[in-house]
């Protein structure tokens, strides 16, 4: 099967981490953990030659296949992928922006439901990722720890008894773990409390980023909250500390929504109603307007204002309305103006199909 055919297969599958079955999924969209690992005795990818990079890809690929650690795994060699297909993987949160470049030995191993993935020869020899819907950091840790253990039995990791796992970037040395939860926080934004919350999170040593991580802007009131330190704490301690903060943010968001409903009901209904009207009837819509409107619509769904629209559909539209997905949907390269038209068409069709159920 060609890489393009495998991309098409991914697009047809229901993304498990976008389901509406996770705990606290009215506010927590998804939980993710990444582990950075490197093979002992080999230079990091930035200093490795093409032959060494290919050897790393071969070793990780062989181990993954033989150990069957990723169920029904799909393998992508990044050099064989078209630029558009690479961007599809980025928009689905399976690879990083740094992985878009053409580099020998770069590969991706992913499960069909996209809940498990291994990114090979990015900044580190490989980065393992696990994703789950809602607020499930501990469950995600159980899944990724099991995968890490299987790989560790077959591959010798670069490890120091004092420093922990050795990584290309010093900020990842130690556990090599980045744990994060994607939160939808329109209540805190609309009530003017979001900046205070972000400042409080930073003071606790955690990071707040946009939908695609470091260096990306906030869109649609979506925020990723993650650990910054990886050294000096165990994985369990990091997850416990992050979970405690996430639970507090979720509580603040619920209180903000309740206050809006109780004291500014017409304002809240107007925000949600206008958003639905734009999405349901617009013929031209920009990416920014789409994300903001989907955010208000999702809040309305969460608060029981709609009987037919479900959270999964709204979550899915956040992905499908992005540039690469739109061009895949259209089957051709699109200009900025054409994307705005195609985006509006896609959203209208999705919402119309729900109304007919």
Q: Are residues 253 and 277 in the same domain?
A: no
**pLDDT per residue as tens digits for the range 273-295:** 999 999 999 999 999 999 999 99
C-beta separation of 95 from 108 below 8 A: yes
pLDDT surpassing 70 at residue 117: yes
C-beta separation of 259 from 193 below 8 A: no
Strands 177-184 and 74-77 come out as: unpaired
Q: Are residues 216 and 272 in the same domain?
A: no
pLDDT score at 217: 61
Q: Are residues 223 and 277 in the same domain?
A: no
What mean pLDDT comes out for the span 36-47?
A: 95
How many whole angstroms separate alpha carbon 350 and alpha carbon 144?
A: 33
pLDDT surpassing 60 at residue 357: no
Tokens of 13: 């599958």
Q: Are residues 245 and 269 in the same domain?
A: no
Q: Are residues 269 and 234 in the same domain?
A: no
Strands 74-77 and 222-227 come out as: unpaired
HEC sequence for 67-87: HCCCCCCEEEEHHHCCHHHHH
| Residue at a domain's end among 219, 241, 257 | 257
The pLDDT-based confidence of 116 (bands split at 50, 70, 90) is very high
**pLDDT per residue as tens digits for the range 186-238:** 999 999 999 999 999 999 999 998 765 554 566 899 999 999 989 889 999 99
**pLDDT per residue as tens digits for the range 296-313:** 999 999 999 988 888 888
How many whole angstroms separate alpha carbon 211 and alpha carbon 185?
A: 12
Average pLDDT, the chain: 92
Cα 120-320-217 angle, rounded to 5 deg: 70
Q: Are residues 249 and 304 in the same domain?
A: no
How many whole angstroms separate alpha carbon 97 and alpha carbon 122?
A: 10
Domain membership of residue 333 as a residue range: 264-355
Terminal alpha carbon distance of the chain: 35
Q: Are residues 275 and 346 in the same domain?
A: yes
C-beta separation of 248 from 28 below 8 A: no
In DSSP terms, which residues pair with 132 in a beta bridge?
Answer: 31
Q: Residue 179 phi/psi, 5° resolution?
A: -110, 140
Q: Are residues 171 and 313 in the same domain?
A: no
In DSSP terms, which residues pair with 180 in a beta bridge?
Answer: 32, 226
Q: Are residues 324 and 211 in the same domain?
A: no
Long-range contacts of 341-349 (CB under 8 A, 24+ apart): 341/283, 341/284, 343/285, 343/286, 343/287, 343/290, 344/282, 344/283, 344/284, 344/285, 345/283, 346/320, 346/321, 347/279, 347/280, 347/282, 347/285, 347/290, 347/317, 347/321, 348/279, 348/280, 348/281, 348/282
Q: Are residues 232 and 337 in the same domain?
A: no
Q: Are residues 232 and 292 in the same domain?
A: no
DSSP state of 210: B
pLDDT score at 141: 97
Tokens of 160: 């120091």
| Residue at a domain's end among 257, 279, 305 | 257
Tokens of 150: 């299987």
Number of domains in the chain: 2
pLDDT score at 347: 96
Start-end of H helices in the chain: 3-12, 50-67, 83-91, 137-154, 186-190, 194-203, 235-263, 265-281, 287-302, 311-320, 323-330, 336-355
pLDDT score at 209: 86
What mean pLDDT comes out for the span 57-77?
A: 89
pLDDT surpassing 80 at residue 21: no
C-beta separation of 265 from 273 below 8 A: no
Q: Are residues 336 and 188 in the same domain?
A: no
C-beta separation of 210 from 224 below 8 A: yes
| Residue at a domain's end among 257, 280, 299 | 257
Check which CATH number belongs to the domain holding 103 and give it.
3.30.590.10
Nearest to 80 by CA among 6, 173, 158: 6
């Amino acid at each position: 099967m060609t890489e393009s055919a495998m991309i098409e297969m991914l697009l047809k599958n229901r993304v498990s981490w976008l389901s509406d079955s996770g705990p606290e999924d009215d506010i927590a969209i998804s939980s993710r953990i990444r582990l950075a690992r490197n093979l002992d005795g080999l230079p990091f990818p930035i200093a490795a030659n093409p032959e060494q990079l290919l050897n790393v890809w071969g070793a990780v690929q062989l181990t993954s296949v033989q150990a069957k650690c990723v169920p029904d795994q799909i393998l992508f060699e990044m050099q064989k992928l078209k630029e558009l297909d690479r961007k599809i993987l980025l928009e689905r949160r399976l690879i990083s922006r740094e992985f878009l470049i053409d580099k020998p030995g770069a590969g991706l191993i992913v499960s069909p439901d996209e809940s498990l993935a291994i990114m090979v020869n990015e900044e580190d020899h490989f980065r393992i990722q696990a994703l789950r819907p809602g607020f499930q950091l501990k469950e995600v840790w159980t899944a990724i720890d099991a995968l890490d253990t299987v790989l560790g039995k077959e591959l010798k990791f670069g490890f120091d008894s004092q420093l922990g796992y050795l990584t290309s970037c010093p900020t990842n040395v130690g556990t090599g773990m980045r744990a994060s939860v994607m939160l939808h926080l329109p209540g805190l934004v609309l009530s003017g409390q979001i900046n205070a919350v972000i400042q409080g999170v930073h003071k606790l040593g955690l990071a707040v980023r946009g939908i695609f991580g470091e260096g990306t802007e906030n869109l649609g009131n979506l925020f990723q909250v993650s650990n910054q330190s990886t050294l000096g704490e165990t994985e369990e301690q990091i997850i416990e500390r992050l979970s405690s903060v996430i639970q507090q943010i979720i509580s603040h968001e619920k209180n903000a929504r309740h206050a809006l409903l109780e004291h500014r009901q017409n304002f809240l209904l107007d925000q949600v109603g206008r958003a639905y009207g734009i999405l349901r009837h617009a013929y031209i819509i920009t990416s920014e307007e789409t994300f903001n409107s989907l955010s208000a619509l999702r809040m309305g769904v969460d608060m029981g204002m709609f009987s037919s629209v479900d959270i999964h559909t709204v979550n899915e539209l956040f992905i499908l309305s992005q540039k690469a997905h739109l061009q895949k949907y259209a089957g051709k390269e699109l200009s900025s103006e054409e994307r705005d038209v195609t985006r509006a068409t896609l959203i209208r069709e999705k919402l119309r199909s729900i109304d007919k159920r």
